[in-house]
Each structure stands twice: as structure tokens, then as C-alpha cells.
Amino acid sequence: MAGKLILLVEDNSDDEALTLRALRQHNIKNEVVVARDGAETLDYLFGAGAHAGRDMRVMPEVVLLDLKLPKLDGIEVLKRIRADRRTELLPVVILTSSKEDQDIINGYKFGANSYVQKPVDFTQFTEAVRQLGLYWLIWNEPPPRGR
Amino acid sequence: MTSPKRIRRDGENILIAEDSPTQAEELKLILEGRGYHVTVAANGKQALAAVHKRKPAVIISDIVMPEMDGYKFCKEVKSDGELKDIPVILVTTLSDPGDIVRGLECGADNFIRKPYDEKYLLSRIDYILMNRELRKSEKVELGVVINLMGQRHFITSDRQQILDLLISTYEQAVHMNEELQTRQKELAERTAQLEAANKELESFSYSVSHDLRAPLRSINGFSQALLADYADRLDAQGKDHLHRVHAASQRMAALIDDLLNLSRVTRGEMHLESVDLSALARTIAAELRKSQPARQVECVIAAGIVANGDAGLLRIALENLIGNAWKFTSKSPRARIEFGVTQREGESVYFVRDDGAGFDMAYAGKLFGAFQRLHAATEFPGTGIGLATVQRIIHRHAGRVWAEGAVEHGAAFFFTL
């Protein structure tokens, strides 16, 4: 699973630190790219803005997407990902504090592959992140490259 | 004395026949405010005596009065050659078409509706006084027979009178319709306001769910990180402080979840269907047993209890009630929890009963308030929102919920649907 990359979309630096800590704690040493708002996420994925000219052969194995984000919110980001041929099949896991029915419905409606509520309890949170890492980096079969 | 109106009002006498002193006073004030002289009589008999003593310009009479009602009084006036030219206005609720026919039959000139619309009442009196002379000139007494709702009525009113009465009836109906439309508009505005308030509440609970959880996760996560990474540099008291911070964040998380559930229970749409409460109770009891297999609890669940309600909401209600029974029997080595139904005054009363810690009936009223707890959290954990949730669910089903209990002698929770 070396070389495989996670794109973490998270505007809250505490949650970012906790997620990274949880991954490290479970020896998931893959590179984690952090995007702090919706616009930056799209810039990274499409090689635009601050990420113009990046190596576009490198794509994340999975996107961990928060819903409540500055500029573009998570659902909007998800719609743009699904609307573009380069990312339409990219695995996206919504990782959010919200358990509102409407958020869950919209998440699936606009093509999320999974929806996980961040547990408040850190032990549970660590476990959730560990399982997500293992599942998406090891067990999940990603869409074929070069399409 | 500059206008004819002014001349007409001054000194004109109006007789009010009304048995309610407050209503008579209200009418009197309106009329005196316009310069009329007003005499009040408490029933038809007194009114008739007053008319004989002094002939008023107009009579305004209530219908339902003791001794002699408005119809009878009006008929007496109209059948007296001396008095029949006095215009009579009957005060009615116009709730029955029979009112109109009876009004015509007794020879009434006009209808006015209670409660009085001041402007309309005064314009009616003006109109009647203005047409007084016209009325006197027409003396055709043709009888007409009308059958209404199996009753035969003989009407001898003149054409002017009949027209006036019918027009005033129609005007009252139009007026009532206008009032109704105004009220409908007000209702629509209120509904819109309520919908807006509801939306606001929804976005509020969304913020609660998202925004309060995030900092809590930080408190929880970093206090645990501190314990994990710096345990060797903290003494026992330092660790204890951190454990308390950590535990408090978990309690708060539970509170937020419960509050959100409570608001969800109030907001969501209800889908009524036939719900097998016995099956629900069995499932809940089985889950509880699985969570604490070592406990000795006898669950007695009556079979075949079916009720009409929202399955999701009733499940939450039973989960809370049976869960409470499970929790408050946790100190007993052997416990008994019962779910059943009894009939009280022809109504199905469902109940969940346990033989656990119980409660003091003096605090029975506090049980269903949000955040109300009758036991220390160290003794029995909880947020104090469960029974508030139960109450909301039962109220949404238009039912009632109450409790009976005694300290150390168990508790019983009853509800209707």
C-alpha cells in the first residue's frame, strides 16, 4: 500500500491533527494530502490554481471529504468530482460531524461511496479512521487507471 | 344643526330590548356616542310597556330573552296600529335560515349581527330613519305563505320591509364572508411564520449537530492524546484531571445526541400504521439482554398488543421505557420487567413496569422534563432526556403518559395512544 495517497478535505485543523494522529497510530504511513476548503480540493484534483503543473498521474486512492467547508461545501465538491471525466469514478468517503438525514441522502444521491460520521469519542474516532484506511488502501479495488 | 343628519339624530329615541346588561350597555354607548337617546328594557314584556309609554324612533331587539322573546315582541309591535310604523331591528347570529323566515313572519325590518360592528350598525339606523317616510306611504298588506323546513310561515310584511330585511341579511352574509377571508389571510400568514420558525429550528439543530461536536472531538481527542503521550510526565492527580475532562466530553456528546433525537422526534413526519408493540418490546428486551448477558432479568411481555401509530417513534418510546426499566433494576440481583395493556374506562392503557429503584411520587411531575434526573449520574447514568422524548412521542400520538412508583419498590409507566 506504499505510494498510495489519501486526500483529506478538512478545514478544521484539530480534526486534521486527530485524523493524522489516528492514521500514524495505526502505522498507516501513506502520504496524506490535506485540502482545507472546497476550492483547494478541486485545484488539487484538476491540477489548477496553486496546484497547477502538479504530476497529474498521481491521484488519491480515496478522498475523505468533510461536508461543511468554506467557499465550496462538500456536496458541491462531490458534484464537481462526479461531473468530471478524470474523477468521476474516484472513491469518495464523506467523513463529517453531521448525521442529518438530508446530508446522508445528498451524500449518496450525488455519488459518495460511503458516509461516516466522525465519532466524538477519540478511541472510536481512531478506530473509524484505521478501518477506513485499511479498507480503502488495502481491500478496496480502485477503478482502473488511464481511463 | 348644519346638516340633515345632525338634525335627525338629536333627540331621536331608540329602544334596546336586551337581557344581557353588558351587551345592552355596549350598544347604548355606541348609540349615545352618536347623539341618540337610549332606553333599555331587559325583555320583550318590559320593552312593550316602554314602547307604549313613549314611542321610539327605532327598536333594536335581541331574540332570545326571558318572558317574551324578540319575535313575539316584534309581532306585538307590528300588530298594533299605533306602533307598527316603528322600525324593528332584530339582533341575530344568522346561523339558521329559519331566523330569516321568523324575522319576516314577525314583521321585522332589519337584521343586525352580534357582535356589533359599530360602523355598520349606525349606517343601518341612518338608512332606516331616512326611509321612514317612504315606508309609511306604502300600506299594501298582502300575505305570503312560505314553507321552510317543514314549517309553514305566514308573512304580511310590505315589500319595502321584505326587501330591507333580505338586503340586510345579504349584507350581513357578505360582511361575515369578508371577516372570514381576513381571518383566512391571517391564518396563511401565521402558517408561513410557523414554517419559517420551523426551518430556523432545523438549521439550528443542524448547527448543534455539526458545530458543537467538532470542538468536543478536539477536547476528547487531545485529552486522550495527552494521556497517551505524556502519561510519564503527569502525576496521579494530573491524570485524574485529564480523565475527568475526557469523561465530561463524552457526557456532553451523549447530551447533544439525545437533544438532537428529541428535536427529531418533534419535527419528523408521522406515518401511522398498525404496529406490533409486543414484537417491538421483545426485540428491545433481547437487545438489552445481549448487551448485559450476565444479568438476571425476567421479561414478561404480553402477546398480541397492536396499536395504531408511527412505528419508528413508538420504537424510540419503548426503547426508552424498557431501557429505563433495565437500567433502574441494575442494582437488583434478580429483576422483573413487564410490558402489557389494561383497559381503563374503555381505553387501552399500555404500561412498562419494573421492580427496581423506583422513585418518590413527590417528584412524579418532574420525571418528564428535559434534563430532569431523580438519581445521581454515578448511581444510574443518563442525560435526563429519555422520558421527555417519550412524552413528546406520546403527545404527538394525542395520547397521555404518566408514572407511578415508590422508592425501592419499582416504577410503572403508563401511556395511551
User: In this complex, do B217 and A99 lie within 8 Å of one another by their Cβ atoms?
Assistant: no
Angle at B220 between CA B218 and CA B224, to 5 degrees: 110
Q: What is the pLDDT of residue B142?
A: 58
Q: What is the pLDDT of residue B6?
A: 44
Helices of type H across B88-158: 97-105, 118-130, 132-137
Residues 6+ apart with CB under 8 A from B241: none
- Output the nine-digit C-alpha cell for B177: 364572508
How does pLDDT run across B55-85, given as a tens digit for each residue?
999 999 999 898 899 999 999 998 888 888 8
Contact A92, A67 (CB under 8 A): no
Distance between CA atoms of residues B350 and A33, nearest Å: 57
Residue in B205, B220, B242 to test binding to A, most A beta-carbons within 10 Å:
B220
What mean pLDDT comes out for the span B320-331?
A: 93
Q: What is the pLDDT of residue B5?
A: 45
Across the interface, of A68, A96, A125, the residue whose CB is closest to B221 is A125
Residue in B199, B212, B224 to test binding to A, most A beta-carbons within 10 Å:
B224
SS3 B123: helix
How does pLDDT run across B275-314, given as a tens digit for each residue?
999 999 999 999 999 999 999 999 999 999 999 999 999 9
Partners of B210 on chain A (C-beta within 8 Å) are 67-68, 96-98
SS3 B82: coil
Chain B (244-263) residues lying within 8 Å, Cβ to Cβ, of chain A: 249-250, 253, 260
Angle at B134 between CA B53 and CA B88, to 5 degrees: 40
Across the interface, of A18, A97, A122, the residue whose CB is closest to B213 is A97
- Output the nine-digit C-alpha cell for B217: 472531538
User: Is the CB of B226 inside 8 Å of chain A's CB atoms?
Assistant: no
Count CB atoms within 10 A of the CB of residue B370. 16
pLDDT greater than 70 at residue B112: yes
Distance between CA atoms of residues B295 and B332, nearest Å: 9
User: In this complex, do A121 and B206 lie within 8 Å of one another by their Cβ atoms?
Assistant: no
Residue with more model confidence, B148 or B103? B103
CB pairs under 8 A between A and B: 55
Angle between helices B236-267 and B311-327 (to 10 degrees): 150
SS3 B368: coil
Question: What ipTM does this complex have?
Answer: 0.79
Tell me the residue length of chain A: 147
User: In this complex, do B222 and A123 lie within 8 Å of one another by their Cβ atoms?
Assistant: no
Residue with cell 356616542: B33
Locate the chain A residue with the closest alpha carbon to B268.
Answer: A101
Distance between CA atoms of residues B41 and B33, nearest Å: 19
Q: Nearest C-alpha of chain A: how many angstroms from B384? A: 20
User: In this complex, do B217 and A15 lie within 8 Å of one another by their Cβ atoms?
Assistant: yes
User: Is the CB of B218 inside 8 Å of chain A's CB atoms?
Assistant: yes
Partners of B213 on chain A (C-beta within 8 Å) are 97, 118, 120
Please give the mean pLDDT across all residues of chain B. 85
In DSSP terms, which residues pair with B146 in a beta bridge?
A: B153
User: In this complex, do B225 and A120 lie within 8 Å of one another by their Cβ atoms?
Assistant: no
User: In this complex, do B210 and A21 lie within 8 Å of one another by their Cβ atoms?
Assistant: no
Distance between CA atoms of residues B165 and B131, nearest Å: 13
Chain A (103-132) residues lying within 8 Å, Cβ to Cβ, of chain B: 118-123, 125
Lowest mean pLDDT segment, chosen from A124-128, B18-22, B149-153, B227-231 = B149-153
Residue with cell 480502485: A142
In this structure, what is the dihedral angle of CA atoms B211, B212, B213, B219, given to the nearest 10 degrees? 120
Partners of A123 on chain B (C-beta within 8 Å) are 224
How does pLDDT run across A106-134, given as a tens digit for each residue?
999 999 999 999 998 899 999 999 999 99
Q: Omega before B115 cis (within 30°)? A: yes
User: In this complex, do A15 and B210 lie within 8 Å of one another by their Cβ atoms?
Assistant: no
Contact B357, B329 (CB under 8 A): yes
Selection from B109, B100, B7 nearest residue B59 by Cα:
B109
pLDDT greater than 60 at residue B3: no
Locate the chain B residue with the closest alpha carbon to A14.
Answer: B218
Contact B310, B270 (CB under 8 A): yes
pLDDT greater than 70 at residue B22: yes
Q: What is the pLDDT of residue B2?
A: 41
Partners of B224 on chain A (C-beta within 8 Å) are 122-123
- Output the nine-digit C-alpha cell for A101: 438525514
Q: Which amino acid is at A128?
A: A
Q: Nearest C-alpha of chain A: how many angstroms from B269? A: 13
Contact A140, A147 (CB under 8 A): no
Partners of B215 on chain A (C-beta within 8 Å) are 14
User: In this complex, do A18 and B216 lie within 8 Å of one another by their Cβ atoms?
Assistant: no
- Output the nine-digit C-alpha cell for B57: 324612533
Contact B413, B352 (CB under 8 A): yes
Q: What is the pLDDT of residue A132?
A: 94
Lowest mean pLDDT segment, chosen from B241-255, B346-360, B379-393 = B379-393
Partners of B225 on chain A (C-beta within 8 Å) are 18, 21, 122
